Structures are given as C-alpha cells and as structure tokens.
C-alpha cells in the first residue's frame, strides 16, 4: 500500500520574527525610533511593571511604575539642569493614567514646593504649598487653586484662617495681624473683607503695635451679628 506524504506546512519567516519582537516580561533597554529609551518590564508590547524611560528631546527621566504603557503607580520624574546638566527632581509621588494623581511632591523651578494630593495632574484635595516669598498655604485645593478651608501664613507672622474660592479669600474667616496685635474676624469676597469686627489681639506682645489700643465696643450679641452676616453671605452666593 503506497504511503501518502503530506507536505509540511511551513509558516512564513516573518511570523517567527514577529513573535520574537513581542515585548513581554523583563527586557533590556529598548530604543524607539525617535531616540527615546526604556528599560524595564513589558506586558503585551506595553510598558507594564517597573521601568525607566528617558526622553531624548528633553533628557527627562521617569523611573517607577507603569500600567499598560502609561505612568501609573509610584514614580519619580526628573529633568537635567540646563547649566550644570545635573538631574533635578521635578515630581516624586503617585501617578494615575500618565498624570500626577494621589499624594506627591512637586518641586517648581523657582524654588516653590507643593506637598499634597493631586487629581488629573492638578493640585486637588489637601495640600501644603511653600511660596518663594516665604508664605505657606495649607488646606484644601480644587483645580490647582486654594478652594475650601485653609490657612495662609505670611513671612511676617500674620495669618489668615478661613474660606477660599478660586485661590482667593472667600467666606467667613479670621485675619491675625500679629505684627500689630490685632484680629479681624469677618466675611471675605474675592480677597476683600466685606464686613467684620477688628479687635486687639496680643497687642502687648506685638513687635509693631498700633500707637493706641482700639476702643472696646459693647455689642449685645457680637457672635449673633457675625452669624447673621454669614447667613446673608451664604444666601447671596447660593
């Protein structure tokens, strides 16, 4: 009985090349066409796991967690100094979907620093901002601006405690003029005090007190007056 031989099915060679080119697991440095380079873990041809990316155009480096090709998890982003060429940290913290998200610290080029929560690359949640003039704001943020309740401390020791909206003092608050020994408690709108009560506060310890103390004003219900003003303010902005 004759033996029937069937021809072997041979896959085209490019199929094998394609399988070998698929990136999965831990790899050595891989270079992109534009000169960018990545060293780390892969999954289904996407950066996934721990890895380090270097962008040729800027020299920036990201080292940390990746998820399906995007920075996601904990990582650090740095750029080279244009003069010294030494790397300076820009951001260290959590990432979500290739944007700053969660808790992290951002170092600004002018020396300012933000330590707090982020959402979609913007300061949002609770955070602390150190400004270049020495001022410090700590409180709530929304869409990259102080929004909600927070405290602003000035270099001379004065401070504001109260409401904020779109980066400005807004709503009930207290302004402590510790350099003069006075306290203003009232209602603010867009950084401007609209009404309130100014009293002496620690005037005997103030470094530059006013020449004369403020006269005492007797009010039958000062707390009630402010409460009424707050209510009127809230009603007008609802």
The pTM (predicted TM-score) of the whole model is: 0.79
The tokens describing 223, both together, are 């707390």
| CB count in 10 Å sphere of residue 66 | 26
Helices (H), the chain: 13-21, 222-236
Higher pLDDT, 70 or 209: 70
**Tokens 């394609």, residue located:** 18
pLDDT computed for residue 18 by the predictor: 46
The tokens describing 45, both together, are 């041809």
Long-range contacts of 5-11 (CB under 8 A, 24+ apart): none
The per-residue pLDDT for range 201-237, each reduced to its tens digit, is 877 776 677 766 766 655 444 555 555 555 555 555 5
The tokens describing 94, both together, are 């959590």
The per-residue pLDDT for range 187-203, each reduced to its tens digit, is 999 999 999 999 988 77
Helices (H), 99-154: none
Among candidate residues 187, 180, 165, the one with its CA nearest the CA of residue 233: 187
Please answer whether residues 163 and 172 qualify as being in contact, where contact means their C-beta atoms are separated by less than 8 angstroms.
yes
């Amino acid at each position: 009985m004759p033996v029937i031989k069937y021809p072997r099915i041979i896959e085209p060679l490019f199929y094998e090349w394609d399988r070998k080119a698929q990136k999965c697991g831990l790899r050595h440095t891989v270079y992109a066409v534009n000169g960018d380079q990545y060293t780390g873990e892969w999954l289904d041809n996407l950066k996934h796991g721990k890895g380090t990316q270097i962008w040729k155009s800027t020299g920036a480096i990201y080292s940390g967690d990746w998820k399906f090709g995007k920075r996601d998890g904990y990582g650090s982003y740095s750029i080279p100094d244009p003069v010294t060429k030494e790397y300076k940290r820009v951001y260290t913290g959590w990432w979500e979907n290739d944007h700053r998200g969660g808790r992290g610290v951002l170092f600004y080029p002018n020396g300012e620093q933000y330590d707090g929560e982020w959402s979609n690359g913007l300061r949002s949640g609770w955070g602390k901002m150190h400004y270049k003039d020495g001022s410090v704001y700590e409180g709530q943020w929304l869409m990259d601006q102080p929004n909600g309740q927070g405290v602003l401390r000035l270099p001379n020791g004065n401070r504001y405690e109260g409401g904020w909206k779109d980066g400005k003092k807004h709503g009930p608050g207290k302004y402590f003029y510790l350099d003069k020994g006075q306290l203003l408690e009232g209602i603010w709108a867009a950084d401007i005090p609209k009404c309130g009560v100014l009293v002496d506060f620690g005037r005997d310890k103030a470094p530059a007190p006013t020449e004369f103390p403020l006269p005492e004003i007797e009010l039958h219900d000062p707390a009630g007056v402010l409460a009424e003003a707050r209510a009127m303010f809230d009603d007008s902005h609802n």
